[in-house]
Amino acid sequence: MSIERKNTDRDPLVADTYRALANERTPDHLNEKVLRMAASESRTRYSVARSWTRPLAWAATIGLSLAIVLELTRLPETEPDVVPVMTPAARKPASTAIEGADGTATDDFAPKDMAVLREVEKRARAQAGPDEGPAIPRADVDEASPQSAPTPRVVAEAEPLHEDTAVHEALASREEASVRKAAAESAAGQSAARGNALVDTASADATAAAAISIAADEKKREAESACPAKMRESAETWMTCISDLREDGRDDLADSEFEEFQRIFPNFVESKAHK
């Protein structure tokens, strides 16, 4: 049935007649045109283009991949440069001060503190000198009247501090460290004893900060006005410096320098010229 229907689709008589009718062939000029066009297209668009597009694509892919890999490997190196302030090394002074107040481990900070405290003591003595009488040796003061020497904290409060950025930074870093520590400890739910220790820590931290600020102030003053270390190497140059200070009208400073000079060179005979 289906084969019969298929055969009805193809009529041999019609097909033969049509075959006899349709025997045209494509003109030669048309064949040439088409073949020439196909050949030129094949040469220009694919064979030539493909010869450089594929290597170029590979090179671009490899280049981009390398660039991405290099960029990714550089990223971890740049991060520490951005965050040096937050490294533990930068926080070390604050943390050591806090730990020192707790009495755990303060060896790296204690000598500096002691030196600063001595300096503060000396300055306080020098300031109090005119009211209390002539200056006496330091050892004598320590032995005779220990109460007369003010504590560093008192001196720090009494003496007006210079508005120095370095001092501010030191104080800010220490306060920040203590606040961070307090926050961390309170978040962790520490005990009340630990809270007391924290209070002590804060007060010791403030004292140390004040001492550091005074030391910085002293250094600054020294650098600005007093005789430099080079001048102090010999008695003559030191005296010349002192006389220069007197000539400049900075008598207070000249006096203190002279006191120091007498302490170092007790046997030096002052010439009239220097006087």
Partner 1 sequence: MAANAESLARPAVALCRRAALPYAPAMGHIPDDSALMLRYKDGDMAAFETLYRRHNDPLYRYLLRLCRHRDTAEDIFQDVWSKIVKARGSYRPTAKFTTFLYRVARNCFIDHLRRNKRHANTAEFDAELHSHPGEQPEMSTERSLAKERLSRALMTLPEEQRDAFLLHEEAGLSVDQIASVTGSNRETAKSRLRYAMQKLRAAIDEQAERL
CA distances from 76 to 14, 230, 238 (A): 83, 47, 54
Beta-carbon-side half-sphere exposure of residue 209 (alpha carbons within 13 Å): 24
Among 1, 75, 187, 192, binds partner 1 (CB under 8 A): 1
d(C-alpha 146, C-alpha 140), whole Å = 10
Q: What string marks each residue from 35 to 54 as x (binds partner 1 by CB under 8 A) or -?
A: x-xxx-xx---xx--x----
Output helix, strand, coil percentages for the chain, rounded to the nearest 5.
80, 0, 20
Of 30 and 64, which CB lies nearer to partner 1 in the complex structure?
30
Question: Left, alpha or beta for 74 (phi > 0: left; psi -120 to 50: alpha)?
Answer: alpha
Of 30 and 199, which CB lies nearer to partner 1 in the complex structure?
30
Check binding of 19 to partner 1 (CB under 8 A). Answer: yes
Of 22 and 75, which CB lies nearer to partner 1 in the complex structure?
22
Check binding of 28 to partner 1 (CB under 8 A). Answer: no
* Near partner 1 in 48-107, by CB under 8 A: 50
Q: Which stretch binds partner 1 (CB under 8 A): 21-29, 162-170, 217-225, 247-255?
A: 21-29
d(C-alpha 9, C-alpha 2), whole Å = 11
Q: Which two tokens stand for residue 201?
A: 């820590």
Of 4 and 79, which CB lies nearer to partner 1 in the complex structure?
4
SS3 category, 112? helix
d(C-alpha 209, C-alpha 156), whole Å = 9
Check binding of 2 to partner 1 (CB under 8 A). Answer: yes
Check binding of 168 to partner 1 (CB under 8 A). Answer: no
Q: Which stretch binds partner 1 (CB under 8 A): 25-33, 113-121, 192-200, 234-242?
A: 25-33
Q: Which stretch binds partner 1 (CB under 8 A): 4-12, 83-91, 192-200, 213-221?
A: 4-12
Check binding of 10 to partner 1 (CB under 8 A). Answer: yes
CA distances from 108 to 80, 90, 93, 111, 114 (A): 25, 14, 9, 7, 11
List contacts with partner 1 (CB under 8 A). Answer: 1-3, 6, 8-11, 13-15, 17-22, 24-27, 30-31, 33-35, 37-39, 41-42, 46-47, 50
